[in-house]
């Protein structure tokens, strides 16, 4: 018997076509856990076999330090999926965060073994995952924000905070995760004895970041439990005023979840208010940028006239 291949073998058009014919709705959700995994490669194959049978799509990273998953699960299969998680001691009672905005988030299942589940690339002796910042829920975080001496830090890349962030937050001007921690440490070095409030998309980046800051002498580090995703659910459910303004950037095909009606960024082409991220349709460029509807039409979804003209060339050219 031929061994079943444990990776996607369909092209993009076929995957999209199959998705369009689905008769059920999907739940976009995410979870993570820092936990010791002895054999990431074996676990990777086991999870792929289990999850592909449930028609789970998404992007999952596994490392010796844990798991980081953003996935799309058919709604009829979510209970079975959670049961499978609970059968593994390492994944029992996994906190799962559900998307505020539904939509086609993923088209295939990709599970990769990585060195880290968040690519900070810092030495292991500069953090201890048994010593992390205090977790605050939405109410507690809002209350902490009232402290005029508190230092609020956005633990995301610049293109994420560009479209949405907490009021008065420090917004690091970095493009990659591995640049983030040294930059944040430099930005807040003179605030070591103040209350440090961290937040990120779903909480995972703040876990290691808070441990890193504690290791480097910051005395009072707290983090938003469940990140912006959980915060958005909590403020809506509890009728709490949102101190996060704008949209939450997400790393799937939706690209954003609107949290408030505020549009705090501008189109990169005409400078009119817009917070719609797109990838340039010139596949040779494919840069991520913000584009308003008028410019989308004017430039055919491209970032420049040059890319528009290039994308319009016949394939043989």
Active site residues: 200
User: Across the beta sheet with 164-166, what order do the strands follow?
Assistant: 164-166, 244-249, 256-258
Q: Which of 22, 128, 127 is nearest to 75 (CA)?
A: 22
Reported residue count of the chain is 317
d(CA 226, CA 237): 15
- Count the Cβ atoms, other than its own, within 10 Å of residue 301: 17
State the virtual CA torsion across 223, 225, 230, 234 in degrees, nearest 10. Answer: -100
* Element counts in the chain: helices (H) and strands (E): 10, 14
Exposed/middle/buried for 130, CB within 10 Å: 0-12, 13-18, 19+?
exposed
φ, ψ of residue 304 to 5 degrees: the values are -160, 165
Name residue 277's beta-bridge partners. 290
3 state DSSP class of 179: helix
CB-based contact 231:5 (threshold 8 Å): no
């Amino acid at each position: 018997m031929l061994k079943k291949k444990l990776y996607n073998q369909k092209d993009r058009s076929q995957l999209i076509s199959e998705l369009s014919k689905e008769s059920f709705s999907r739940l976009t959700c995410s979870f993570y856990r820092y936990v010791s995994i002895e054999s990431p490669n074996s676990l990777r194959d086991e999870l792929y076999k289990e999850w592909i049978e449930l028609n789970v799509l998404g992007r999952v990273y596994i490392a010796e330090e844990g798991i980081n998953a953003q996935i799309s699960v058919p709604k009829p299969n979510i209970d079975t999926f959670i049961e499978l998680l609970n059968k593994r001691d390492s994944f029992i009672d996994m906190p799962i965060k559900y998307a505020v905005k539904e939509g086609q988030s993923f088209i295939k299942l990709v599970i990769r073994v990585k060195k880290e589940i968040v690519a900070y690339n810092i030495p292991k002796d500069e953090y201890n995952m048994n010593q992390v910042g205090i977790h605050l829920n939405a109410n507690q975080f809002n209350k902490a924000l009232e402290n005029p001496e508190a230092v609020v830090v956005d633990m995301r890349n610049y293109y994420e905070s560009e479209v949405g962030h907490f009021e008065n937050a420090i917004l690091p001007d970095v493009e990659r995760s591995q640049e983030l921690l040294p930059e944040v440490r430099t930005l807040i070095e003179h605030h070591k004895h103040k209350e440090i409030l961290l937040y990120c998309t779903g909480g995972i980046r703040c876990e290691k970041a808070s441990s890193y800051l504690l290791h480097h002498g910051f005395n009072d580090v707290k983090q938003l439990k469940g990140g912006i995703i959980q915060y958005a659910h909590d403020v809506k459910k509890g009728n709490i005023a949102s101190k996060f303004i704008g949209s939450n950037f997400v790393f799937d095909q939706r690209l954003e979840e609107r949290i408030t009606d505020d549009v705090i960024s501008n189109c990169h082409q005409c400078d009119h208010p817009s917070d719609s991220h797109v990838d340039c349709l010139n596949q040779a460029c494919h840069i991520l940028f913000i584009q308003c509807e008028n410019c989308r039409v004017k430039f055919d979804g491209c970032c420049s006239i040059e890319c528009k003209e290039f994308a319009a060339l016949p394939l043989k050219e």
